[in-house]
A and B are shown apart, each in its own frame.
Chain A
Amino acid sequence: AAGVIQSPRHLIKEKRETATLKCYPIPRHDTVYWYQQGPGQDPQFLISFYEKMQSDKGSIPDRFSAQQFSDYHSELNMSSLELGDSALYFCASSPRTWGPSGGTQYFGPGTRLLVL
């Protein structure tokens, strides 16, 4: 079965540079989520999109922005990178299902960002 695709898988940047992470959701999934996982930490929610509109926002720095495109893929743009931005960035997708039985998020393999 098709899974969530993230690119690149690894990225090395210098401080103050910019980075763009891409996410391609599972076909027919219209909701995309971004999470950040620091070393030894649990994943922290950053932002989500449904039908190209921001649907929820978490602890995303102002230096970061994201969007979802008409083909449902999403990009996370990170500017003025800091050492503390080094982390695993996961994208997840889900079909839009309300109620108590839906909304399972399926995760991609992640992008490991290292800021030097």
Chain B
Amino acid sequence: DQQVKQNSPSLSVQEGRISILNCDYTNSMFDYFLWYKKYPAEGPTFLISISSIKDKNEDGRFTVFLNKSAKHLSLHIVPSQPGDSAVYFCAARGQGGSEKLVFGKGTKLTVNP
């Protein structure tokens, strides 16, 4: 049972445009959400996070939006750059008080020059 879902396995955008990566979750106990970027053969790199008491968090080109009623969050990258090409994982924490992260399957983003 996948509690964190990233329904788009891949996304391709043009350099300079906006990239929007989506994530849905089923467990309302999650209290903290994170986005990680991952290159092949490397560990996930933390990008940005948001707690369940907020609906938006911004850091430079990256903005995460949280819609609790829809159990949906999204990562916006503006403007997209070729170096952003990687697999992006959505993760959630807090199920039953646990600190473990539950990951989605990931979305492979390709930013074309």
Beta-carbon contacts under 8 Å, A84-116 to B: 90, 92, 94, 100-101, 103-110, 112
Q: Which residues of B contact A42 (CB under 8 A)?
A: 89, 103-106
Known pairs A42-B105, A109-B42, A110-B43; A33 contacts B49 (CB<8 A): no
B70 at the interface (CB under 8 A from A): no
Known pairs A31-B99, A42-B89, A42-B105; A104 contacts B46 (CB<8 A): yes
Q: Are B32 and A55 in contact (CB under 8 A)?
A: no
Q: Are A100 and B36 in contact (CB under 8 A)?
A: no
CA distance A110 to B40 in the complex (A): 11
Q: Shortest beta-carbon distance, A111 to chain B, in Å?
A: 10
Q: Which residues of B contact A103 (CB under 8 A)?
A: 32, 93, 99
Chain B residue nearest in CB terms to A50: B99
Beta-carbon contacts under 8 Å, B32-66 to A: 32, 34, 36, 41-46, 49, 51-53
B15 at the interface (CB under 8 A from A): no
Chain B residue nearest in CB terms to A112: B41
Chain B residue nearest in CB terms to A4: B43
Chain B residue nearest in CB terms to A108: B43
Chain B residue nearest in CB terms to A55: B99
16 A-B residue pairs with Cβ-Cβ distance under 8 Å, sorted by A, are A6-B43, A33-B99, A35-B101, A42-B105, A48-B99, A56-B99, A90-B44, A100-B31, A100-B53, A101-B51, A103-B32, A103-B93, A104-B49, A106-B46, A110-B42, A110-B43
Binding site for A on B (CB under 8 A): 31-32, 34, 36, 41-46, 49, 51-53, 89, 93, 98-106
Binding site for B on A (CB under 8 A): 4, 6, 31, 33, 35, 41-45, 48, 55-56, 58, 90, 92, 94, 100-101, 103-110, 112
Q: A4-B43, A43-B89, A109-B43 are in contact. List 6 more A-B contacts (CB 8 A).
A: A55-B99, A56-B100, A90-B44, A105-B101, A106-B46, A107-B46
